[in-house]
Amino acid sequence: MCCACGTYAQQAAASDNKNQITLSVWVPASTGLTDEAQKNLHNKVVQIAAKQGVAADPGHSRFVFAVNVVELEKNITPTAPPKHSYKLDVTFYIGDGIEGKIFSSVSTTVSGVGDNATKAYMNALKNINVLNPNYKKFADQGKAKIVEYYNSQCDPIIRKAQTLSAAQKYDEAIYKLMSVPEACAECRSKAISAVDSVYQQKIDYDCKTTLAEANNLWNTEQNAEGAKKATAALLRINSKASCFGEALVLSQKIAEQIQQLDAQALETQKEELAFQREEQKQRLDAYRDIQKAYAENQPEVEYKPLW
């Protein structure tokens, strides 16, 4: 691979940069685990992922950090009182959940004893060692494969985002671009450049619709209450948007008419109509907020089994 991120597999051990790859943590419901066991196992996966420089996604990334549990032995001990015991094979996978491809896997065997079957099973899961040294090679292999994917699919990803933006699906476009991991430096740089344009299109579109809303509110109710509603809409307009100047003109128009209608309301409206506010958050933070909000409002991806 000729781009900078193509050398990630060789540099991963030395870089030690955290949260450069984001994966969906996936514990399939079909495993037959109780809700409590699923939660416990999910937490274990999150802990292992964090230790290996992997960030947990709400469940919308195509790439997954999955786990499967197979019961090897189930016994009742010949003790007084008798105890239940389990021996489990726990296999972790990193792969493409959309295509069902495994990038890397690692297994561990754990055992647990308890007063009943449920407690024994839970105790076995608690014995999963999140510091197992085998997890590093497993995670590095999986992350390298994901970086290779973005390396080979960078241009199509950007073109897809541009198509979404043209269809006014700005949040989805920003989500896709911001999903390119930092580990893939060259593609990430291209994605950030592309997201600048998409974000500008988004705030320009929002500006036009919000300005129309403010005009409608003011034309419908040209009094202090109408001015308050219109101003509230105008204050949502990003100062970098292309129609921001028109918003200032409308605010001045409202102020002048309010002055004629009600001198007392003027002082209140001057404060509300003032567009002197703190500088907008750094654009990258705004992109990340949009990415997070879009992800949290999407249905979970239907993944294919990796085993």
What is the per-residue pLDDT across 101-119, written as a single tens digit (0 to 9) for each?
999 999 999 999 999 988 9
Distances (CA, A) of 278 to 131, 152, 275: 45, 41, 9
Query: How many C-beta neighbours within 10 Å does residue 38 have?
Result: 18
Side-by-side strand order, sheet with 84-96: 54-57, 21-26, 63-76, 84-96, 101-114
- pLDDT for 12: 37
| Model confidence pTM above 0.85 | no
d(C-alpha 227, C-alpha 232), whole Å: 8
pLDDT, averaged across the chain: 83
* Mean pLDDT, residues 30-55 taken together: 84
- Give 270's Cβ-side CA count (13 Å radius): 7
End-to-end, the C-alpha distance of the chain in Å comes to 29
- pLDDT for 1: 28
